[in-house]
Amino acid sequence: MLLAIVAVGGAVGFRTLLEGLGQFYYLPMVPAVVITAMLARRPATALAVALSIAVNLALVPRESLSDALTNAALFAGVTWLLAEICWGLRALDERTRDLSRQLAAKDAMLNTALASVPVVTLEANGEIRRLNPAAADLFALTEKAARGRPFAELAPGFDIKATTRTGATGGPLESKDAHWNGLRPDGATFPLSIQYGIVPGSSGGEHVALCLTDLSRWHAADAQARELHAQLNKVWRLNSLGEMAATLAHELNQPLSAAATYLHASQVDMERAGPLGDSALRTAELAKGQLLRAGKIIRRMRELLSLEVRRMDTERASSMIEDLGPIFTMIGASKGVAIRLDLEAEDDRVQAERIQFQQAMVNLTRNAVEAVGDRTSPEVVIVGRTVSDTQYRISVEDNGPGIADDQIDRIFQPMTTTKSGGMGLGLSVTRTIVESHGGRLQVSRSALGGAAFSFTLNREPSVETV
């Protein structure tokens, strides 16, 4: 409002200075209204228009009222139209500034993203036009050294024609192998994936932009997962052999002992027969010796193949389970099951032998996946919770058919299986592993409706700092 008063006052003063040059009515007042409209809102502008009309009516004598009203209306209409134009220009300017800020923010975001993604731009002949710092670091090159070189020198087998054969504007470029191999100046190679896009050039024509992904870490993780899988399979075979040896030793020990007892009794009878029984006595003695030797061999095999007792280390339960993620993915993919982890990561330090524990988890999870394979909405959840100051409980739950009541007492026995091709050693070996960790493998009804196999591990006491 003050702006309108000052602007109109200035216009009146200017009009007074011009009186000697001629008759000026509303013309000197127009800039006052325009300036107010450019710097203030509608109420202040309306006040400037009203003050201009009032001052003009007061200072300029009129011959007729109709002329005065007509001139005032014309002035009001023209100046208000000019004010609307000013407001439109102000709004357009504000919108332009806002769009500029948004564009600058998006440009900064894009530059930040592209700074971390290796990008190479190629000419139509496949030569490198430019590459960003991330791409230069990836190939251990400077942009100056790379510019003008065929990209095929950095990615052997690359052909620029592959980006135009299908008529597509972008997508992944497939290699003859499972991936591309990037080549550095020192001869080192690394796995690489390539995505391409067609971009217009500033002076006409088109360029090919390549987005590169270094697959080294992914391949290393995949190799680590395969190594872990092979190690777990080896441990599983040894544990299964040990469980089988223990079972056979237990089952064969009684008949072997009985046979040795019968031979000993026959030896007593043969001694009573005198010289006639000497030959049979020697034969029986040899047979008895072989039976005892067979028993020792079986016991020795049991000792050699029994579950190896290893030193327990302090491990994080959640970490041991999460490291099995790639293996869980492979197990679940065979039946179309997504295995979900629900692990309490706080205070989960436990005493465990990592490989043996992971083998037990793989076996329980595989059993759960097989149990829900025929479900329309299969669910397998691995739950980890701290249940006391000394124990951490792990449970593998599913929404399968569960375990029948008459099978609960038998499923942990060796040579007992519900699978057509099973050997009946899986749960027996798993139970042995759990017991070697000081726990007890239990089965109950899951909250999901199926079975829940659970056990506890001894927690490592937390270290309190003062």
- Per-residue pLDDT band for 415 (boundaries 50, 70, 90) equals very low
pLDDT, position 464: 44
Distance, in Å, from the CA atom of 210 to the CA atom of 223, rounded to the nearest integer, reads: 27
Could you tell me which residue, 137 or 163, shows the higher pLDDT?
Answer: 137
In 146-163, which positions are buried (b, 16+ CB within 10 angstroms) versus exposed (e)? Answer: beeeebeebbeebebeeb
Distance, in Å, from the CA atom of 171 to the CA atom of 120, rounded to the nearest integer, reads: 15
Per mean pLDDT, which of 1-15, 140-154, 173-187 is the most reliable?
Answer: 140-154
Beta bridge mates, 194: 173, 212
Pairing of strands 339-343, 380-386: parallel
Q: What domains appear along the chain, each with residue ranges and CATH number?
A: 2-112 (no CATH), 119-214 (3.30.450.20), 219-305 (1.10.287.130), 313-458 (3.30.565.10)
Distance, in Å, from the CA atom of 78 to the CA atom of 75, rounded to the nearest integer, reads: 5
- Per-residue pLDDT band for 315 (boundaries 50, 70, 90) equals very high
Tens of pLDDT along 183-207?
Answer: 888 888 888 888 888 877 655 567 7
pLDDT, position 392: 95
* 418: Cα separation from own chain's centroid: 36
Q: pLDDT above 90 covers what percent of the chain?
A: 12
Tens of pLDDT along 58-116?
Answer: 776 666 677 777 777 887 888 888 888 888 888 888 899 899 888 888 877 776 766 67
Distance, in Å, from the CA atom of 437 to the CA atom of 460, rounded to the nearest integer, reads: 13
Helix or strand (DSSP H, E) at 193: strand 189-200
- Per-residue pLDDT band for 223 (boundaries 50, 70, 90) equals confident
Could you tell me which residue, 63 or 438, shows the higher pLDDT?
Answer: 438
Q: Is the pLDDT of residue 466 over 70?
A: no
pLDDT, position 398: 94
What one-letter code names the amino acid at 226? R
In 310-321, which positions are buried (b, 16+ CB within 10 angstroms) versus exposed (e)? Answer: eebeebbbbebb
Pairing of strands 170-173, 206-214: unpaired
- Per-residue pLDDT band for 421 (boundaries 50, 70, 90) equals very low
- Per-residue pLDDT band for 173 (boundaries 50, 70, 90) equals confident
Answer yes or no: are the C-beta atoms of 400 and 371 closer than 8 Å. yes
Q: Is the pLDDT of residue 416 over 60?
A: no
**Which phi-psi region, left, alpha or beta, contains residue 204 (left: φ > 0; alpha: ψ -120 to 50)?**
left
Tens of pLDDT along 368-412?
Answer: 998 898 888 899 999 999 999 899 999 999 999 888 777 766 666
pLDDT, position 423: 41
Return the ∠ at Cα 126 (arms to 124 and 130), rounded to 5°: 90
Closest CA to 439 of 390, 367, 383, 389: 390
- Here the tokens at position 391 are 């124990």
Tens of pLDDT along 118-154?
Answer: 888 888 888 888 888 888 888 998 888 888 899 988 9
Closest CA to 215 of 190, 183, 186, 195: 190
DSSP state of 276: G
Summarize the confidence of residues 445-463 as an average pLDDT.
85
Give the torsion through C-alpha atoms of 188, 189, 194, 198, to 10 deg: 40
pLDDT, position 452: 92
Distance, in Å, from the CA atom of 169 to the CA atom of 16, rounded to the nearest integer, reads: 70
Return the ∠ at Cα 27 (arms to 22 and 28), rounded to 5°: 85
Summarize the confidence of residues 430-458 as an average pLDDT.
90
- Here the tokens at position 180 are 């591309």
Could you tell me which residue, 342 or 216, shows the higher pLDDT?
Answer: 342
Distance, in Å, from the CA atom of 437 to the CA atom of 447, rounded to the nearest integer, reads: 26
- Here the tokens at position 64 are 């007729």
Tens of pLDDT along 268-294?
Answer: 766 776 665 667 767 777 777 777 777
pLDDT, position 60: 67
pLDDT, position 420: 45
Q: Where are the alpha helices (DSSP H) in 372-440?
A: 426-436
Average pLDDT, the chain: 78
234-237 contact pairs (CB < 8 A, 24+): 235/355, 235/356, 235/359, 236/359, 236/362, 236/363, 236/429
End-to-end CA distance of the chain: 67
Distance, in Å, from the CA atom of 356 to the CA atom of 352, rounded to the nearest integer, reads: 8
Q: pLDDT above 70 covers what percent of the chain?
A: 73
Summarize the confidence of residues 197-219 as an average pLDDT.
77
Pairing of strands 119-122, 170-173: unpaired
- Per-residue pLDDT band for 259 (boundaries 50, 70, 90) equals confident
